[in-house]
A = this chain, B = another copy of it.
Amino acid sequence: MKATVYVTIKQNVLDPQGSAVQGALHSMGFAEVGKVRIGKYLELELDTTDRSEAETRITAMCEKLLANTVIEDYRFELEG
């Protein structure tokens, strides 16, 4: 089974990396770019076929390691 995890910075938390990219794009002539938010995208292969078990385990991985839930949100998709 394959899991895709998206970790994004919460809406009300400052994203300095996004601001830096926005500034760089502006200085390169991409003036139409508004707010930029940058997150992480993870692909994990899981050696399991039990979908609900996989959901529980991925949630635990996100809570414990993959996301800092103080400032980040996460969501995931399972396939296979």
Chain copies in complex: 2
Task: Tell me the nearest residue of chain B to A66, going by C-beta.
Answer: B21
Report the separation of the CA atoms of residues A35 and B46 in the bound assembly, to the nearest whole angstrom: 8
Docked complex: A24-44 residues within 8 A CB-CB of B: 24-25, 28, 30, 32-44
What are 20 A-B pairs at a CB distance below 8 A? A8-B43, A18-B42, A21-B42, A21-B65, A25-B65, A33-B45, A34-B44, A34-B45, A34-B47, A35-B43, A35-B45, A36-B42, A36-B45, A37-B42, A37-B43, A38-B42, A38-B43, A39-B41, A40-B40, A40-B41
Taking A28-B61, A36-B45, A38-B42 as given, write out 15 further A-B residue pairs in contact, using a Cβ cutoff of 8 Å, ordered by the A residue number.
A7-B41, A21-B42, A24-B65, A30-B57, A30-B61, A33-B44, A33-B47, A34-B45, A35-B43, A35-B45, A36-B43, A36-B44, A37-B43, A39-B42, A41-B41
